[in-house]
Structure 1
Amino acid sequence: MSEDEHAKRGIDLERPNAARVYDYMIGGRLNYAVDRMFADQILGVLPNAQHMALTNRAWLRRAARFGAEQGIRQFLDIGSGMPTVGHVHEVVQAVDPASRVVYVDNEPIAVAHSEIVLENNDNAAMVQADAEYADEVLEHPTTEAMIDFSEPVMVIMAAFVHFIPDSRDPAGLIGRYRDVLAPGSYLALSSGTWEGQGEETQRSVALYEKSGTPLTLRSPDELSALVKGFEILPPGVVFTPEWRPDEPLEDPPERSGGLALVARKI
């Protein structure tokens, strides 16, 4: 793709992009040299970063499957990033092929690739929007066509809120999505945390400060405070590997560097 084509698509190759860095960390191919260089810098100060990304991804799959097993057939994946193997539509449509999934991201590469991956899937679609502006997402024609908010929905915010500082009111943003959900809907949320982390995490956060996508890591109490109006389900706010694991844990859970919860709208 030429520089002009990149510009037309709104792809900034001067700075690393969080979605593309994450894609590189989990073994994807939808990234550029600037993203790989930044990811390698992160791995240089935080060798555990790839493990963190992979455990978050595994949690995402378990949470989506849990929603489908509870009877949810509509999923709204906020800040979804790249649709890699084992993404939400694959997980939930394995339970029920009629399950509908709307992915939301503002990264042009994620959107362009999603449109290709989902081309023959009538029950999954991509919305290009800034998820911090909830109305852009909720009132988008694709969302309105795919999601019936009078019925329960699972909203997924995997590794999303740690890119929203307190000054931008993440609780208010989550509340805006909550308000349109029918009772019995679910919220699945994960975030980076300082809990159980060392100086390596501090150094990696300092690198993100320079990237244009700074991180705000939060404690279990801080994450709980973001989800008012929801009932947090067992096992509560825990490290991502501890959330309903499929197998006994082999690594210390704090090595994941992330917390997760699934909550039900009251």
Structure 2
Amino acid sequence: MTTADSEPFPPAGVDLSQPSVARIYDYFLGGDTNWEIDRQFAEQLLGKFPILRPIARSNRLFLHRLVRHLTKLGIRQFVDLGSGVPTMGHAHEVADQVAPGEVRVAYVDHEPVAVAHSRSLLRQYGDEDRHTAIHGDLRDPGRLWERIAETGVIDLDRPVALLMIAVLHIQQLPSPDSPESADLGPRLVATYRDLLAPGSYLGISHVTSEGIPDEFAGMLENIKTMYDGAGNPVIWRTRQQIRELFGDFRMIEPGLTWTPLWHPEEATVTDETPDLGEASEAIVLAGAAKKE
């Protein structure tokens, strides 16, 4: 999908009237699962703020290190909410580097392109007994949990690692027919924490406007204006607000920190080093916590 002329017809359910967060992120990561409307929006952002590309890559590499670390801690089941497009390695590929053939993964996304490409990847390189991709809405935790269980891939009575990577700064607004209008993020995460079995882990990464270099404040204001105007409203939380998303789960070392600083020893020799002058330029805080 590198040119408009060569683009295939999009899968059913894909809205090409506005750019997609998942497909923009894919473009930042160097993927090709995006359309012209996504690339135009991404290039507008990169033209003003080229650092967004290393920021996105730093976040993706945090996901890789998180999966490696939790797999080494004994986790053998992952649920990746807002898993996105399979660019720069999916969770099951990383987990199999540590525990080949042992780890089960359920990918969940609301973006049809992300789900279609995840399913295609799993058909070619996955294991249908251990991997699945679900088209679902994280705003309906009860139903989504049922659908995950119905696949038979994940045993939700046993510990899992629930990954919410770069998804909660996309505002989780109620459905159009709902009388509510406030962001549902904290309430939804609390519900998922309750659903998790003891011994499970919660991994989160989230953009913050707090503690970043002074010159980045204007950048985040501009980014929010652009995303909101494109129909993809975003929200930046403080460090304390992000910490509160973990509830009473026990944070594992090093706690909530910038993406490049979270267990850097879990990087592999093939991992790139995103071009960031200092860790706070990542603008994304990340961490993981355990349900005792």
Describe the superposition over 1:176-224 as per-residue Cα deviations: whole angstroms up to 9, x where unpaired.
1111212111011001111213312211111011111111011210101
1:255 pairs, out of 266, 269, 281, with 281
Asked if residue 121 in structure 1 is aligned to residue 121 in structure 2, the reply is no
Shift of 1:46: 1.8
> Percent of aligned pairs with the same residue?
37
Q: Distance in 2 between matches of 1:77 and 1:135?
A: 16
Distance 1:141 1:200, change over 3 A: closer
Q: Given that residues 77 and 104 in structure 1 are in contact (C-alpha distance below 8 angstroms), is that contact kept between their aligned partners in structure 2?
A: yes
Indicate which of 257, 260, 280 corresponds to 1:241: 260
User: Relative to structure 2, which stretch is displaced further, 51-60 or 244-253?
Assistant: 244-253
The Cα shift of 1:141 comes to 5.6
1:176 aligned onto 2:197: no
C-alpha deviations, 1:128-184, integer Å up to 9, x for none? 001121123211166551111221100000001101258233222112111121211
**Could you say which residue in structure 2 is the equivalent of 1:98?**
102
Corresponding residue for residue 155 of structure 2: 148
SS at match of 2:106: strand
Change (3 A) 1:142 1:108: farther
* Corresponding residue to 2:87 among 61, 84, 88: 84
Residues 56, 190 of structure 1: 8 Å contact kept: yes
Structure 1 vs Structure 2 CA RMSD: 2.3
Gap runs ≥5 in structure 1 = none
Q: Deviations over 1:3-56 (max 9, x none)?
A: 9964x7111111000000000000001000000000011112222111110000
Structure 2 partner of 1:186: 201
User: Which structure dedicates a bigger proportion of its chain to helix?
Assistant: 1
Q: Given that residues 46 and 204 in structure 1 are in contact (C-alpha distance below 8 angstroms), is that contact kept between their aligned partners in structure 2?
A: no
Alignment of 1:204 onto 2:223: yes
- Judge which range, 152-161 or 188-197, deviates more: 188-197
Rounded Cα–Cα distance in structure 2 between residues aligned with 1:260 and 1:82:
20
**TM-score, normalised with respect to structure 2:** 0.85
Say which of 55, 58, 63 aligns to 2:58: 55
Quote how far apart the aligned CAs of 1:86 are: 2.1
1:235/1:141 CA distance change after superposition, 3 Å: closer
Q: Is the 8 A contact 1:102 1:143 kept in 2?
A: no
Cα distance in 1 between the residues matched to 2:9 and 2:27? 22
Deviations 1:211-253 (A, max 9, x none): 1111101121010112213111221111111111137997300
Shift of 1:61: 0.4
Gaps of 5+ in 2: 174-181, 268-272
| Count of residues in Structure 1 that have an aligned counterpart in Structure 2 | 265
Give the conservation status (yes or no) of the 8 Å contact 2:7–2:35. Answer: no
CA distance in 2, matches of 1:239, 1:31: 28
